[in-house]
Structure 1
Amino acid sequence: MLQLAISQGAFGHQILQDIGLVCFISMLLAGAFHVWLRKTTPSLQWNQFGKVDVSRIVPADILGCVFVTLPFTLTLLMPYTGPAKSLSPIQLALSFGMLLMMAGIVLFMYKQRDMLPETLGLNPRHPAYVFAWGVGAYVCFILLSITLQNAGLETWLESRLGKPQHQQIVQEMINAVQVERKLILILGACVIAPLAEEIIFRGYLYPVLKRYTEPAFAAIITGIIFGAIHGNIWAVIPLSLFGILLAVLYEFSGSIWSCILCHALFNTINVAFLLSMGDQL
């Protein structure tokens, strides 16, 4: 049984690496194509769609994106080493701290260029409007998830990948016994992860890709990367769709707060479910 679990994990990791490679090649090809397209048809304004302004994004931001997403991409680049071991409270705190640090770097870069708060829509004119967008997007994703489940997505994945395995943080939550461990996981999953991941992926990676390609491509690629970096092949499809939805939400709401709220709702409700049903999972 152990060998089977390792085999499934290795196979899933290989697929995640392939997804990452496809995304990387797609970004290079799309960037080269749009450079040519801009030179031949300078009047095109496709990347001005939506409320996410990319006029102040510069080529150096490409390197910035590589740097702030490095902790995520390393999980794909590293070879498979077997089932993930349980992390200590200090290791958990450090991992969430790394997320905050990378998000802080994004905010620092924007601040140094006098791009805050406008770039991220941190001071929306109508907070209730932003709140409604966030909650509405979450409801839409839940309906989409139910539709996918009824369409047999879980059964289809299980027939090809074997019995589903939990994402590491989900397994950590199920196994958590110590109070401090649970508090770190709850704070990290419900507050830190939504805040940091949205600033990094929707607040920075998406606008940079949008600037040098186009909105639809940027939303799809950042969504797929977002799904892949969570390290669970069984969750790639729903998480990728969630990432795409968050990019669309950002465009229509014009504020990163709506994305953070939607993401936090998703994580918090899942955490509440895990804490109440953990022994039965």
Structure 2
Amino acid sequence: MDEKEKQSESPILRNLSFAVLFLAGALSLWQKAEHQPPEEAQNRFRTQQMEFFLKIQVSLVVLPEIADEYMQDPEEARQQALDSLKQICDLDPNGNARAGIQCAVLTAYLDADYEKYIRGSGPLQDQFQSLYVEKKPLNPEAELFQTAVGDLVRLRQYELQGKTERAQELRERLRQHARESYGSQIAVVLAVLGILTMGLVFVVAAVRKKPVQQYGIALMSLHPGDYRVLLEGTILAFFGITALLPVLGGLIPSDFRIHGMVGGHFLLLLGILYYVVRQSSPDTLQKIIGDWHYRPAHQLFIGFLGWCAIVPVGIIATMAMMQSAAGDPVEQAHPIAFILQDHFVLAFILAVVLAPIMEEIVFRGFLYGYLRRYFSILSAAPITGFIFAILHPQGYVALPYLFMLGTGLCLMREYNRSMIPAVFAHMVTNGLVMIISYAMLH
């Protein structure tokens, strides 16, 4: 912006305008907290998530039969399976009857008391009563065979019908699945330990190296008025995401809403970048983004190592909180989870490409850059991380994870020549969440 335009501006009007935008965004965010997805989408999400966990439990209840292969005590393995089953099935004691009956099937397989899981009445309850209590075989088309625990039900049916060969074949297949599941658990544990080790080594090496405050040095060359523009860019992004895009999205037919969300976020990002360049200079934006041309492969590798250091610690903190605060999965889910199954590609582009780029520019570029003028790294990074966490809609259970992610990404931006490492770490995080969520829903 040239000097004549700056002089013609009214500072009071400018302050008032951005204050109104900020309040509008805050009001929209508060109202959105009361908004829930359609009841049908909520029920489908709960059902699919529970079916995923129950499918895993099938292998766990079979594991005691092959515990000797892994030098485990069968009774101890049985008790562990019961504890795991109780943790899943007792999440919602008044939950849907379909999940309750499947919990009863799993518990019956372990010869434990299943009465508390039989809720209400209906076809599934009648089929369970017939097969497990009255010991009468079911119709081959019975609904109970189509559930996540259908193989256990089918095994029970074969045993009642005296089909020994089929029962033995199915039991061996279940045991093989249990072996594969146990091997997958070991692989996951080893992978997590490897990631934690790489992250720890990276942090120790970085501290010993005494890295240069790259971002702090870049910010020192900014004009004082540019910091104001960074704050205004943050407010524009906040208003756009919380108020403008939801309002515009409501005008789009539901079948095309995800297309509008992707396009809207892309245009909003371009608009914010244009505003910052117009109000300051291209050089200012270049300093915010950093020197992304410098050894890009090395910067991506640093981003991965930074992810190894940040994300596992946040996940551990979140799991600790979840142990003491079990809640409705709908309240803890990101809204994008409800459109993931029907629009995976577009949701992936939004969550794994657009969102990390926009959030890193806004939070680690604009907001953190603005706060660095007034606070030290040890203050500005946690403040940015906290704001980043509370603006996400996953609920308080995810706050520790999001806070550590947001704070860690600030440090990655501070000690690197560009925000490429932080953007890549953010993309890896969101990408894994999307892939795992998609697997759960299928």
TM-score interval, smaller chain: 0.5 to 0.7
Unpaired runs of 5+ residues, structure 2, are 1-29, 35-211, 248-252
Map 1:1-281 to 2 at 5 A: 13=33, 50-52=213-215, 53-55=218-220, 56=222, 57-72=226-241, 74=243, 88-112=254-278, 113-115=281-283, 116-148=285-317, 152-158=320-326, 162-164=327-329, 165=331, 166-173=333-340, 176-177=341-342, 181-233=343-395, 234-279=397-442
Matched position secondary structure for 1:238: helix
Give yes or no for contact 1:106–1:199 (8 Å, CA) kept in 2.
Answer: no
Output the CA distance in 2 between the equivalents of 1:68 and 1:149.
Answer: 27
Structure 1 match to 2:92: none
How far apart are residue 217 of structure 1 and its match? 2.3
Flag the structure with larger Rg: 2
Output the CA distance in 2 between the equivalents of 1:210 and 1:74.
Answer: 27
Give me the TM-score of the superposition, normalised by structure 2. 0.44
Seq. identity, %: 21
How far apart are residue 278 of structure 1 and its match? 1.3
The RMSD of aligned alpha carbons is 2.8
Q: 1:277 to 1:51 in 2, by over 3 A?
A: same
How far apart are residue 146 of structure 1 and its match? 4.6
Deviation sequence 1:140-171 (CA, Å, 0-9, x none): 23321353256x2211232xxx3343121123
Output the CA distance in 1 between the equivalents of 2:358 and 2:228.
Answer: 23
Deviation sequence 1:76-131 (CA, Å, 0-9, x none): xx9xxxxxxxx935322323333323322343245441324343114342223311
Structure 2 match to 1:18: none
Give me the TM-score of the superposition, normalised by structure 1. 0.67
Unpaired runs of 5+ residues, structure 1, are 1-9, 15-48, 79-86
Aligned residues: 216
Matched position secondary structure for 2:392: coil
How far apart are residue 239 of structure 1 and its match? 1.1
Give yes or no for contact 2:318–2:398 (8 Å, CA) kept in 1.
Answer: no
Give yes or no for contact 2:292–2:420 (8 Å, CA) kept in 1.
Answer: no
Output the CA distance in 2 between the equivalents of 1:253 and 1:265.
Answer: 18
